[in-house]
């Protein structure tokens, strides 16, 4: 930059950015990537004492049927096969249902479990053993009824692509407890990625250091972790040192905090070459632990990812998100019905989900870890019967769904909220997606109304302009 006045103005703008929020991280980044990494490890800090330090979010992409797993409805058996009363579907929009659908009773039995007497489906025998450690919310609702927007809404607080995800907000607020690993890690299992794609774990308008880092189940856990063929470690180190000098010069010229982010990411990637291989070596676990989760070494699965999640939070990763695809049980064929596909998804996840809770508890981590299990919306109490299909299935349903939470100061053994006799509308204690976010942030020591970031002249937050902390859910 030839003009010294322009250079001075640029530096002043950068220092002004550094006066608040992530600008401080950017300023320390200008002192070098190592300083940036140290600054990012602490984040902005909590607003009040926290019950929890970290989150594991088990997202069942496609949305499990609450009526076949968590929310028993005897009235559906009474009216099974009958047309649903018109008052329920007046002015309703469905993803696939046409005409007047018929009510569909669950083909699965429910029973009480534990001292709490929580009622669960026979499809979840291992989850049934840990019900006294769970908070079951049967009164969740959302604003979206298609997968992509609903998943993005659940993860970012808005159906609009481009907002920061929950994990990114947490990275921004609290930083990481391990400078050798990302603050936010994403793990996928099942045939496909979630419909919302990488927007579900994107950093939006927050600096990109806060986006989720996806660990892969095949090859290098992280892209470009290994040195390219013909490039040894010393040569790569010299290359990174040269890049740091170039980026440092660019940072001084432009005052762009994203340059500091890039410097930090280069440094982190170099440290991850040492930390990630040890982290991802599930063979270091005992045979008993592998069996508890149902892990087969070398075979990608939800079970492997659940065990990886425990290893990640054990090493200080702040937010771990698991996506397991395949819960979209429309009943259009035998591959997506509730008689074969739904039991299969349960077998893939039930054992490992319960093992994760017990493993965290045994290691003294559950009290400070929030574990959330659920989908992006619910399923209808009616059979979809798309194009006259004879397979049993349920359409998308935003008005009511269930999820459970464990650890982090939530009230164990609690069943919260209720739906009407058909499971169509919420009848008691509704909880919105924004309410869920506000409550989770509260347990992490964060006031959802104060956790903000200024963008395009407006202060944004995870809960947008809504959200109430649901204190009845808390111990």
Contacts of 449 by beta carbon, 8 Å cutoff, 6+ apart: 461, 463, 467
- Encode pLDDT of 182-222 as tens digits: 999 999 999 999 999 999 999 999 998 899 999 987 667 66
- Encode pLDDT of 417-439 as tens digits: 999 999 999 999 999 999 999 99
DSSP alpha helix (H) spans, 83-232: 86-89, 147-156, 166-174
How many residues comprise the chain?
475
φ, ψ (nearest 5 deg) of residue 453: -145, 130
Residue 2 has pLDDT above 80, yes or no: no
Q: Under a CB-based contact definition with an 8 Å cutoff, are residues 151 and 321 in contact?
A: no
- Encode pLDDT of 316-375 as tens digits: 999 999 999 999 999 999 999 999 999 999 999 999 999 999 999 999 999 999 999 999
Q: In 3D, which of 180, 156, 162, 187 has the Cα closest to residue 40?
A: 180
pLDDT reported for residue 41: 57
- Encode pLDDT of 38-84 as tens digits: 334 557 899 999 999 999 999 999 999 999 999 999 999 999 999 99
Q: Taking CA 155 as the corner, what is the angle to CA 425 and CA 91, rounded to the nearest 5 degrees?
A: 30
Residue 389 has pLDDT above 90, yes or no: yes
pLDDT reported for residue 366: 98
Q: What average pLDDT does the segment 91-116 reach?
A: 96
Q: Which domains does the chain have, with CATH numbers?
A: 31-221+280-473 (3.40.720.10)
Global pTM value: 0.86
Query: Taking the alpha carbons of 429, 430, 435, 437 in that order, is the dihedral positive or negative?
Result: positive
φ, ψ (nearest 5 deg) of residue 248: -60, -40
Strands 118-121 and 134-141: unpaired
Residue 110 has pLDDT above 80, yes or no: yes
Contacts of 421 by beta carbon, 8 Å cutoff, 6+ apart: 73, 75
22-27 contacts, C-beta under 8 A, 24 or more apart = 22/172, 22/206, 22/207, 22/257, 22/453, 23/257, 25/207, 25/209, 25/257, 25/260, 26/207, 26/257, 26/260, 26/261
Distance from first CA to last CA of the chain, Å, rounded?
A: 58
Q: Under a CB-based contact definition with an 8 Å cutoff, are residues 473 and 416 in contact?
A: yes
- Encode pLDDT of 305-317 as tens digits: 999 999 999 999 9
Q: Taking CA 115 as the corner, what is the angle to CA 112 and CA 121, rounded to the nearest 5 degrees?
A: 25
pLDDT reported for residue 19: 34
DSSP alpha helix (H) spans, 110-256: 147-156, 166-174, 233-254
Q: Under a CB-based contact definition with an 8 Å cutoff, are residues 151 and 195 in contact?
A: yes
What residues are paired with 378 via a beta bridge?
397
pLDDT reported for residue 274: 64
259-264 contacts, C-beta under 8 A, 24 or more apart = 259/29, 260/25, 260/26, 260/28, 260/29, 260/30, 260/33, 260/36, 261/26, 261/29, 261/36, 261/207, 261/208, 261/209, 263/29, 263/32, 263/33, 263/36, 264/29, 264/33, 264/36, 264/37, 264/40, 264/209
């Amino acid at each position: 930059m030839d003009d010294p006045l322009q250079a001075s103005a640029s530096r002043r703008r950068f220092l002004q950015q550094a006066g608040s929020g992530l600008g401080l991280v950017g300023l320390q980044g200008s002192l070098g990537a190592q300083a940036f990494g140290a600054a990012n490890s602490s984040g902005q800090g909590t607003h009040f004492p926290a019950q929890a330090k970290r989150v594991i979010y088990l997202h069942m992409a496609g949305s499990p049927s609450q009526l076949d797993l968590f929310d028993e409805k005897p009235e559906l058996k009474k009216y099974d096969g009958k047309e649903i009363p018109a008052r329920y579907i007046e002015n309703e929009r469905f993803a696939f249902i046409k005409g007047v659908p018929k009510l569909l009773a669950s083909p699965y039995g429910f029973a009480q479990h534990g001292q709490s007497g929580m009622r669960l489906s026979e499809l979840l025998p291992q989850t049934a053993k840990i019900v006294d450690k769970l908070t079951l919310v049967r009164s969740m609702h959302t604003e979206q009824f298609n997968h992509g927007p609903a998943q993005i809404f659940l993860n970012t607080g808005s159906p609009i692509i481009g907002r920061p995800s929950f994990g990114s907000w947490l990275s921004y607020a609290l930083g990481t407890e391990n400078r050798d690993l990302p603050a936010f890690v994403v793990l996928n299992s099942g045939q496909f990625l979630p419909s919302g794609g990488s927007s579900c774990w994107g950093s939006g308008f927050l600096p990109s250091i806060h986006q989720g880092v996806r660990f892969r189940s095949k090859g290098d856990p992280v892209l470009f972790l290994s040195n390219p063929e013909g490039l040894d470690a010393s040569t790569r180190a010299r290359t990174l040192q040269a890049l740091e000098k170039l980026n440092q010069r660019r940072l001084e010229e432009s005052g762009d905090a994203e340059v500091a982010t890039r410097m930090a990411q280069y440094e982190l990637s170099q440290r991850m070459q040492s930390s990630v291989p040890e982290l991802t070596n599930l063979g270091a676990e005992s045979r008993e632990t592998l069996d508890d989760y149902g892990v087969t070494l070398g075979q990608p699965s939800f079970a492997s990812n659940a065990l990886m999640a425990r290893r990640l939070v054990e090493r200080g990763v702040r937010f771990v998100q698991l996506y397991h695809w395949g819960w979209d049980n429309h009943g259009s064929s035998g591959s997506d019905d509730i008689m074969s596909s739904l039991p299969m998804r349960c077998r893939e996840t039930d054992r490992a989900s319960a093992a994760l809770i017990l493993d965290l508890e045994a290691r003294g981590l559950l009290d400070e870890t929030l574990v959330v299990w659920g989908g992006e919306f619910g399923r209808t109490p009616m059979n979809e019967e798309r194009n006259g299909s004879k397979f049993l299935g349920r359409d998308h349903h935003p008005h009511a769904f269930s999820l459970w939470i464990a650890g982090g100061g939530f009230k164990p053994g609690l069943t919260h909220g209720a739906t009407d006799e058909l499971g169509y509308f919420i009848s008691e204690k509704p909880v919105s997606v924004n309410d869920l976010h506000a409550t989770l942030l509260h347990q992490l020591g964060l006031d959802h109304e104060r956790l903000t970031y200024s963008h395009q002249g407006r202060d944004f937050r995870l809960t947008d302009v809504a959200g109430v902390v649901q204190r009845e859910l808390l111990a």
